[in-house]
Structures are given as structure tokens and as C-alpha cells.
Amino acid sequence: MKLQFFMGPALVAVMANAAAAAESVKIGLITKFPVPFYSTMEEAAKKYAADHPGIELITGQGQSATDIEGQIALIESMVTQGVKGLAITPVDPTVAPALDKAVAAGIKVVLVDNSIPGWKSQTALVSTNNLNGGKIAGEFLKTKLKDGDKIAILEGVPGVPALDERVTGMMEGLGGIKVDVVAKGATNCTLELGTSVTEDILTANPDLKAIYAACGPPIPGAVKSLANANVANDKIILVGFDACCGELEAIRAGTEDASVAQFPAKMGELGIATVVKAIQGEAVDANVDTGAGLVTSENVEDFD
């Protein structure tokens, strides 16, 4: 006796969905801390995952730009949860040992936004070319400054390559202009330190001509300090990096002159896409450049 089995459309659909679920890949995304830049990145990653049903995305975020222990705990948690790939914006080089354990477990690690000095186990780096982004800022400042002008730099977290490269690039972008860098101060990419560091710089350097910030969150603090010191908007040139965290509003108001915009949504999407390709055994580029552009009062509406 020969038995034949027939499946109706509904049963076929159920079995197809079950097969798709079985083939889904679990991926982790870890971002640094809660600011609009990383929220935008996370939302873009979630949208990409939603548009590709075979992806199960787990997300996590640290508490601050220096939350090393928090990020290590997130890495360990995602390894325990069985992710096959991990996209991460590393907060500090000291998270490398935790990532080494992830790689040893067979997890594909894609760094997003910045690299880890000396760490070579990543599958790829998806980021802005921060050196070139810094050059964009420097080239803008070059049109506003002259030899001998005094400038100050609001650093991010010293030792983080992406942030350091933004400062190096800015200086290179100034080209032949010989400015006097009279002050540098670490802000840890926070509004609070942006405020206090700027206050100290203004007190010590009343003849300052420009301030450059290597990340966005300190800019509103700098704007506040300039206003408290009764510094007119056209007296000190203020240039930032990230075009986030109130910078677009400051540019519209005339309290900030320019900022180098990154594209965090593109980072989130390409970060997850790159992880998926690597898991599937496809070739991926070692460096994926997500681009940068200068925002000024003339084009700020294009960056909403």
C-alpha cells in the first residue's frame, strides 16, 4: 500500500515559517551610552532587522562614555545568550579581552563607530573616517582664522582613536594657518564637562578666537558657558563634531558655527548587514566608510 500525503496552503505556510525561524540568526548590538546619536543607530539597526525576518536582534547600551564595566557585562551577556555575531561601539580598549572570548566562541565581531588600538580580531570596522571628518572641520576653521589666532580644543575621551583622530584631522585641515592651541580639556563627551571645561578655558584665555569640540554632547555646555560669560556669537567661532545633542538647534540659533555630521543610521544598518554577511561566509570589506559632511547655517535644514 502506498500512502500519499497532501498539505494544504495553511500547513505549508506554518512549516515555512517554522523553517525560517529555525534558520534565524541571533545578533547583538551594543552601543556606548544614551544620546540621540546612538539611539538613531540602534533604531536603524532594529529597522534593518525587522525588514529581514531571519535576524533576531538583541540590543544593549552602556550608561556613559566611560562605562567600561557595563559594556564588558553586556558583551558577556550576549555571549551567554548565544549570539552568532556582535556589532559594538567599543567604549575603551580594555573591553578587548571580553571580545577575545567572544571571538574564541566563534562569534563574528564588527566594530562600529571606532576601532580598538592594536586589536586585530574584528571582522570589519564600520565607521566614519574620523581623520577625514576632522579635516573637514579644520578646513572650515581655516576660512575663519589667521596666523597667531588662539584656539581651544574640547577633547572627548583621550585615548579613544575615533575622538583623537578628529583632533588630529582638524589640525591637519588647518593647513598652513599657524594657530596657537592655548588649551585642551577632556570632556568625556558630556554636557557637564563641556560646560565646566569651557568656563575654565574662557577665564584663562579672554582673547580666544575659536573652540573645537571632538564630539557633540559638550557643545550645548560650551554654548551655555559662552552665554554666561556674555561672549557675543560672532566673537568666538564654535565648531563641533557629530551634529547631535542640540547642535542643529545651536547652528540654527547662531550660537554654533558648524559641525561635522556623521550618519549614525547608516552605521546601524551597515553594522548589522556586515555582521550577517560575515556569519553567512560572504566576503566583507575590512573598513566600511559611512561618510561625513559639514553642517552650517546654510544647509542645516538638510540634516533634520
CA atoms within 13 Å, Cβ hemisphere of 171? 12
pLDDT in tens, 30-73: 999 998 889 999 999 999 999 999 999 999 999 998 899 999 99
Reported as a pLDDT band with limits 50, 70 and 90, residue 292 is very high
C-alpha pair distances (Å), 116 with each of 39, 96, 109, 119, 130: 22, 8, 12, 6, 14
pLDDT at 20 over 90: no
Does 25-127+263-290 match 130-261 in CATH topology?
yes
Share of the chain above pLDDT 90, in %: 85
Residue 2 pLDDT: 28
Q: Is the pLDDT of residue 15 over 80?
A: no
Task: Report, as an integer, the average pLDDT of 253-267.
Answer: 96
CB 117 within 8 A of CB 160: no
| Choice among 6-20, 34-48, 77-91, 147-161 with the minimum mean pLDDT | 6-20
Q: What is the DSSP string of 197-244?
A: HHHHHHHH-TT--EEEESSSTHHHHHHHHHHHTT--TTTSEEEEEES-
Mean pLDDT of the residues in the chain:
91
217, 245 Cβ separation under 8 angstroms: yes
Per domain, the residue ranges of the chain are 25-127+263-290, 130-261
Domain 130-261 adopts which CATH fold?
A: Rossmann fold (3.40.50)
- Phi/psi of residue 254, nearest 5 degrees: 85, 10
Where residue 268 falls among pLDDT bands split at 50, 70, 90?
A: very high
From the candidate CATH numbers 3.40.50.2300, 3.30.420.40, 1.20.1250.20, 3.20.20.210, the one assigned to the domain spanning 25-127+263-290: 3.40.50.2300
pLDDT value of residue 7: 34
pLDDT for residue 144: 97
Nearest one of 37, 89, 36 to 62, comparing CA atoms = 89
Per-residue pLDDT band for 117 (boundaries 50, 70, 90) equals confident
